[in-house]
Amino acid sequence: MKSLTALIAVKKESTRVPNKNFRPFADTTLLDLKLDQLLPLVGDGTLNGIVVSTDSEEALERVSKRPGCVVGHKRPDEFCSNTIPMSMVYSYLAKSGGITYSFPMMSRDIIWVQVTNPLVDTGVYRAAIQTYLAFDKAYDCVLSMSPVQEYLFHKGKPLNFKRSPWGRSQDLTDVYAFNLAFSVLSRANMEKWGSLVGKGPYFYHLDRLTGWDIDWPEDFDFCEMMYKRRQGG
């Protein structure tokens, strides 16, 4: 089976949750937990390595204590600013430059992974990569998606429901959110698109809990509680 490289991008600062990626989370941190979840995939050959691109010296220090298959890439400050368009960041990271200097074995295909989805585990990543490798030409990426069962409006009009007759929220279907837990794609496409989303995405469905993204302080507390529960704590 062809190996992919996992690419994790973490910033030193977090606007809404201070020190989000490195503060204590259960008995670990979000960054360390994600590395622990991905390392078994290096062991079984699904991944050839893990690259952490960051502006954080703390992150680089944590990565330096990991096996050689985990490497740190010091990202220039200009590509960590809140003012730079994410499209430029995606294209820069896909083009690699300094990343391939840090990790010359960087694969043609990658799985982009966020550390802020702590309930996505090893098995989910393995299955998503296997899905990508089994693709036909109808798809160009695998995106982690969670169902949205809320009454949504766009430009003042109902988006996923009818005003009358009124439907139940559990019957609101076919609307999904890209939770950014992962995207599996080729580096060439990521550079060309300046995006994680292609023209022919395959939706890899995660339940709402598994795909929960930590964006606010209450998300951090909730996910920590659910992680502890899943670990039997």
| Domain annotation covers residue 135 | yes
38 CB neighbour count, 10 Å cutoff: 23
Instruction: Give the contacts of 215 (CB within 8 A, at least 6 positions apart).
Output: 16, 17, 116
| Domain annotation covers residue 222 | yes
Average pLDDT per consecutive 10 residues, the chain (233 residues; last block may be shorter): 90 88 96 98 96 95 94 91 91 84 89 98 98 91 94 92 89 87 96 96 95 96 97 82
- Residue 33: which H helix or E strand, with range? helix 30-43
| Domain annotation covers residue 156 | no
pLDDT value at position 217?
Answer: 96
List phi, psi (to 5°) of 185. Answer: -165, 175
pTM: predicted TM-score of the whole model, two decimal places: 0.93
| Domain annotation covers residue 221 | yes
Task: Give me 228's structure tokens.
Answer: 């502890």
Would you give the DSSP letter of residue 173? -
For residue 96, give the CATH number of its domain: 3.90.550.10
Nearest partner of 179 among 205, 213, 155, judged by Cα? 213
| Domain annotation covers residue 22 | yes
| Domain annotation covers residue 121 | yes
| Domain annotation covers residue 158 | no
The parent domain of residue 33 ranges over: 4-148+177-230
| Domain annotation covers residue 52 | yes
Domains in the chain, number: 1
Nearest partner of 38 among 155, 104, 128, judged by Cα? 128
Cis peptide before 165 (omega within 30 of 0): yes
